[in-house]
A and B are shown apart, each in its own frame.
Chain A
Amino acid sequence: MWRNSFAAEYLPAGGSLVHVDGVPFEFPPVCEGPDNIRCAGQFIKVPRDRYDWIHVLAASERRCEDTVELTFADGSVDAEPLRVSDFWAAPAWFGEVRAFESLAMHYPHHVQRGVPAVMWAQRVAVTRRADLTGILLPRNVAMHIFAVTLQRTEL
């Protein structure tokens, strides 16, 4: 909202494969254009399969929790919590992993030291033992998603 942003020099290269706490993510493009999803009820189709966890790289404009709706091949839908701590100089309130930290924050007209911007690695549980087909993001513009990785069920 305040047009603050991460400083690219503190982030991985755009399109690179990064590992956070053992979870691989494809890092989004680092460019002047869109590099994240601002949550507004978008639906993400996923390869149909059994999954245990949905891992996300995310940031939130203030500490926030909302729900994602998980759509399954059998027609069932489960709402599960998505919790993301503030990206603006804040602790991991929800026990997330600090994935990347920009030691300087970009403001519209200057670079601000001393106010770190944090991208969190959070996860959402898939409790239903059924094939997942899609994820409906919350209608919550405070939440920003940078990458998603699905962790298959170990059979």
Chain B
Amino acid sequence: MTVETTARTYMINGPEPELWYRDLISCLQATIGSVLAREGVDPLSVLGAGWRFLHLPGDVRHEEFYYPCLPDESGAIDLGTALAPHHALHARWWQPADEQDVWREVRASLAEDRLVIAAVDNFHLPFRPAYGDVHAAHQVVIYGLDETRGVVYVSDAMPPAFRGAVPIEKFLRSWNSENPTDVQDAFFSDSRIGRRCLDVRLDAVPAPLTPELLGGFLRSDVEDFTTAGPVRTGLAGFDQFAAELLDRCRANDAGALRELYPFGWAMQAQASLHGELLRRCGREWRDPALAGAGRAVETVAHAWTGLRFTGAHGLGDPRAATLDIAHHATLLRSAYARAVDAVGAVAARL
């Protein structure tokens, strides 16, 4: 339980949130990783356990924390299920219900000793490099609120990394920003922030990761990669995504490259975490083939860099970038195929 030190001061118990970070992840994984770490759960073992490909045409938002999610049978979107398909992780967006008291839910969460993940616009946050310069959608963790002193306590693991107090009025501007179109950041601007928050819950403590358990995860993921479905999943889904990307580049559609950067980051981050987890397990279990499979998955993450940045640099003339986009899509497809093969081989015997 938190201690309510004054009527309007709320702070989580214990130490400040862990700054959980890897260089290929986005603020999405970093913030959820902080929440998991505070629950006493190893973030890598949850966020790195699954590895999928999913592209949803028309769905990409211009936000650093975009991640493709399929709705469940009821039509509900659960970001946690997409990020961690093998764990009981749930993450759902919410917004304050009362325009006259936008902090009500935040107070309630902090009073329950729960962190709050909030969407923000970097332009208004003094600790972000983009402060006063570039509009860009980002996510941070709120771990305290002191309405008497007029500050929000914010944690952000993304470089330059920050933990501390931010004036409420600045935070409110960031949290409620229109995040208007900004020519300096075509990828993460033009997406209204709208005081969104992400509620993240882990319903069950993960079972200790064993070769048998991991083997089940891997077999499920390999099946997803190798089975064509009604939506763009797996290797077949990648092929559809790449073919459409090239068609749009040939048509000089800059929107295709604006979408590629945030979408690619989602896929890149996931591959990097999954690869790292497999390498770690391979080392701990003295299984060099598993470690090698992890490295193959990391190669997928590294190949996303080539595609994402070729697209970003080609934004001004998509048609001219088509050949290089095709080149990197081919390299990435090859990396996916090799990694699926390597993971499939170890999954069959774990």
Q: Are A61 and B160 in contact (CB under 8 A)?
A: no
**Identity of the chain A residue whose Cβ is nearest the Cβ of B272 in the assembled complex:** A63
Q: Are A115 and B160 in contact (CB under 8 A)?
A: yes
Q: Are A62 and B313 in contact (CB under 8 A)?
A: no
Decide if A113 is an interface residue (CB 8 Å cutoff): yes
Most A C-beta atoms less than 10 A away, residue of B23, B184, B327: B23
Decide if A16 is an interface residue (CB 8 Å cutoff): no
Q: Are B305 and A142 in contact (CB under 8 A)?
A: yes
Which residues of chain B are within 8 angstroms of A109 by Cβ–Cβ distance? Answer: 133
**Identity of the chain A residue whose Cβ is nearest the Cβ of B313 in the assembled complex:** A141
**Identity of the chain A residue whose Cβ is nearest the Cβ of B331 in the assembled complex:** A66
**How long is the Cα–Cα vector from A93 to B272 in the complex, in angstroms?**
11
Partner of B306, one of A64, A107, A110: A64
**Identity of the chain A residue whose Cβ is nearest the Cβ of B327 in the assembled complex:** A139
Among A20-28, A83-91, A123-131, the stretch that binds chain B is A83-91
Partner of A141, one of B160, B184, B310: B310
Task: Known contacts A61-B305, A62-B309, A140-B306; decide if A113 and B160 are in contact (CB<8 Å).
Answer: yes
Q: Are B310 and A140 in contact (CB under 8 A)?
A: yes
**Identity of the chain A residue whose Cβ is nearest the Cβ of B265 in the assembled complex:** A62
Decide if B312 is an interface residue (CB 8 Å cutoff): yes
CB distance from A85 to the nearest CB of B (A): 8
Interface residues on B, range: 20 to 34
Which residues of chain A are within 8 angstroms of B159 by Cβ–Cβ distance? Answer: 88-89, 114-115
Decide if B308 is an interface residue (CB 8 Å cutoff): yes
**Identity of the chain A residue whose Cβ is nearest the Cβ of B127 in the assembled complex:** A114
Task: Known contacts A1-B312, A88-B159; decide if A142 and B306 are in contact (CB<8 Å).
Answer: yes
Which residues of chain A are within 8 angstroms of B306 by Cβ–Cβ distance? Answer: 64, 66, 140, 142
**Identity of the chain A residue whose Cβ is nearest the Cβ of B310 in the assembled complex:** A141
**Identity of the chain B residue whose Cβ is nearest the Cβ of A138 in the assembled complex:** B306
**How long is the Cα–Cα vector from A86 to B309 in the complex, in angstroms?**
13
Complex interface residues of chain B between 150 and 188 (CB less than 8 A to chain A): 159-161, 184
Q: Are B305 and A93 in contact (CB under 8 A)?
A: no
Task: Known contacts A91-B23, A108-B184, A114-B161; decide if A65 and B299 are in contact (CB<8 Å).
Answer: yes
**Residue interface bits B80-110, CB-to-A below 8 A is 1, else 0:** 0000000000000000000000000000000
Which residues of chain A are within 8 angstroms of B310 by Cβ–Cβ distance? Answer: 140-142
**How long is the Cα–Cα vector from A63 to B133 in the complex, in angstroms?**
26
Which residues of chain A are within 8 angstroms of B133 by Cβ–Cβ distance? Answer: 107-110
Partner of B23, one of A65, A93, A112, A141: A93
**Residue interface bits B252-286, CB-to-A below 8 A is 1, else 0:** 00000000000000000000100000000000000
Interface residues on A, range: 20 to 34
**How long is the Cα–Cα vector from A69 to B114 in the complex, in angstroms?**
53
Decide if B46 is an interface residue (CB 8 Å cutoff): no
CB distance from B157 to the nearest CB of A (A): 11
Which residues of chain B are within 8 angstroms of A113 by Cβ–Cβ distance? Answer: 160
Q: Are A62 and B324 in contact (CB under 8 A)?
A: no
**How long is the Cα–Cα vector from A113 to B306 in the complex, in angstroms?**
27
Which residues of chain B are within 8 angstroms of A114 by Cβ–Cβ distance? Answer: 159-161
**How long is the Cα–Cα vector from A88 to B309 in the complex, in angstroms?**
14
Partner of A61, one of B184, B301, B303, B309: B309
Which residues of chain A are within 8 angstroms of B309 by Cβ–Cβ distance? Answer: 1, 61-62, 140-142
Partner of B24, one of A1, A61, A62, A66: A62
Q: Are A107 and B302 in contact (CB under 8 A)?
A: no
CB distance from B329 to the nearest CB of A (A): 12
Complex interface residues of chain B between 314 and 350 (CB less than 8 A to chain A): 324, 327-328, 331
Which residues of chain A are within 8 angstroms of B184 by Cβ–Cβ distance? Answer: 108
Partner of A89, one of B24, B160, B324: B160
Decide if B129 is an interface residue (CB 8 Å cutoff): yes
**How long is the Cα–Cα vector from A118 to B136 in the complex, in angstroms?**
24
**Identity of the chain B residue whose Cβ is nearest the Cβ of A1 in the assembled complex:** B312
**Identity of the chain A residue whose Cβ is nearest the Cβ of B129 in the assembled complex:** A112
Partner of A62, one of B160, B161, B308, B327: B308
Q: Are A63 and B160 in contact (CB under 8 A)?
A: no
**How long is the Cα–Cα vector from A142 to B313 in the complex, in angstroms?**
9
Name B residues whose Cβ lies closer than 8 Å to a Cβ of A. Answer: 23-24, 129, 133, 159-161, 184, 272, 299, 301-303, 305-306, 308-310, 312-313, 324, 327-328, 331
User: What 8 A-B pairs have minimum CB-CB distances, sorted nearest first?
Assistant: A114-B160, A89-B159, A90-B23, A142-B309, A64-B305, A62-B305, A65-B302, A112-B129
14 A/B residue pairs, CB under 8 Å, sorted by A: A1-B312, A60-B305, A61-B309, A62-B305, A63-B302, A64-B302, A66-B306, A89-B23, A110-B129, A113-B160, A115-B159, A115-B160, A140-B306, A140-B328
